[in-house]
Amino acid sequence: MTKAGPAANRADLSGVVDTGGVAGGATGGVAGERKQARRIEFVDQRAAVVLYVADSDVEPTRECVETVEAIAEATGRVAVGLFGGGRFAELWRSAIPGRIPMGELDQRMGRTLVLLSDGPPRAVARPGALRRRQAIHSQLAAERSRRAGMAERSRAHVRADFERMVVQVLESVAEGSPRDEAELHRAGARAAAELSRWCGQQGVGAVEMEAPFPAPPVKANMLAEAVVAVMVLAAAAGVSRLLSAPLSWLGLSGVWVQVATVLVGVGFAALAVVATLRRNARQRRGQWVATYLARLRREWLHLAEGAVHARDPAGHRGWRVAQLAEHAN
């Protein structure tokens, strides 16, 4: 049989035995000796019959009484055993419903447990006040879950709107094509101020968005640029040699052919080198701006996440939650 209750491990259960209807020598010495007491094994696991052990030196609480009533309603086989002889014994007897067996931890309790095990279950319905309180607890849990879901959906909506706003203001910064650190910082500061105003208008809260000063742009690799220039000059020289034969066919002399090919090669090389350097500079500047904008996006999203979580779109707990919590206590 199962032993339950906060005092189950402190009580002495050695006296709870089954005498088969004979308690000690109540019916005579010979009959008492013929009927050997049968030991009852108590376990902590779940079993068909439950013995709830109560300490009479400890005042019964509402949770203890509700636990006994819940076991009686669920199994129909529960008894309450008192030990200690304390001053709260009568209080325990008045708190436990009369249909639930209750007594000392002696042979009569052992016989009661055997009868509960052998007989049909006698489910004891809990009082209406307890059922109402449990219904209120269920309503309170459902209301809190519903309001938590509403709050999370509202936060997700605000978070999505904020991310779209961040993308919009950062695109405006990138479209401005800033050329140096000061210009990029001013554009970032304007974007931060716009985001702060948006947060105030949307009810997110006073979120102070800041734009840190950007790091200096990456300088050009002179060795790589020199290698590119040499390669372009080599290509220009090859192109100029290809023009020597057509110029000779046009009737130009050898000197003029050489001058023309040199001019064409130098012009082609100059144009190619300048175009390559400008393209590399644009790529470096674009990468520098993108790195700074990514840093701003991470910092702003982190600040907004904290503000969104601190925001309570449902208006604190709500009157319904407060009313249910008041009646649940």
How far apart are the C-alpha atoms of 288 and 183, rounded to whole Å? 13
How far apart are the C-alpha atoms of 165 and 156, rounded to whole Å? 14
Place of tokens 């057509």: 246
How far apart are the C-alpha atoms of 248 and 184, rounded to whole Å? 55
How far apart are the C-alpha atoms of 184 and 18, rounded to whole Å? 90
- Bridge partners of residue 2, in order along the sequence: 43, 50
Residue 146's alpha-carbon distances to 132, 142, 184, 312, in angstroms, are: 21, 6, 46, 14
311 sits in the region (left: phi over 0; alpha: psi -120 to 50; else beta) called: beta
Residue 255 burial (C-beta neighbours within 10 Å; 0-12, 13-18, 19+): exposed
How far apart are the C-alpha atoms of 203 and 123, rounded to whole Å? 55
How far apart are the C-alpha atoms of 131 and 70, rounded to whole Å? 10
Both tokens of 239, joined, read 């192109």
Q: Residue 236 corresponds to which amino acid?
A: A
Per-residue pLDDT at 34: 44
How far apart are the C-alpha atoms of 20 and 17, rounded to whole Å? 9
The DSSP string of 198-267 is: HHHHTTS-------PPPPPPPPP-HHHHHHHHHHHHHHHHHHHHHHHHHHHHTT--HHHHHHHHHHHHHH
Statement: the pTM of the whole predicted model exceeds 0.85: no
Q: How many residues does the chain have?
A: 329
Per-residue pLDDT at 143: 80
How far apart are the C-alpha atoms of 91 and 326, rounded to whole Å? 27
21 sits in the region (left: phi over 0; alpha: psi -120 to 50; else beta) called: left
Residue 177's alpha-carbon distances to 173, 180, 222, 236, in angstroms, are: 7, 9, 24, 33
Residue 189 burial (C-beta neighbours within 10 Å; 0-12, 13-18, 19+): middle
Q: Residue 66 corresponds to which amino acid?
A: E
Tens of pLDDT along the chain (329 residues)? 777 877 777 777 777 887 765 444 333 443 444 456 667 777 766 667 888 898 888 888 888 888 888 888 888 888 999 888 788 889 988 888 888 899 888 888 888 888 888 888 877 766 665 667 777 788 888 888 888 888 788 888 888 888 888 888 888 888 877 778 888 888 888 888 888 888 877 777 677 788 888 888 766 666 766 766 677 766 666 666 656 666 566 665 566 666 666 676 677 777 777 777 788 778 888 888 888 888 888 888 888 887 777 765 544 466 676 766 766 65
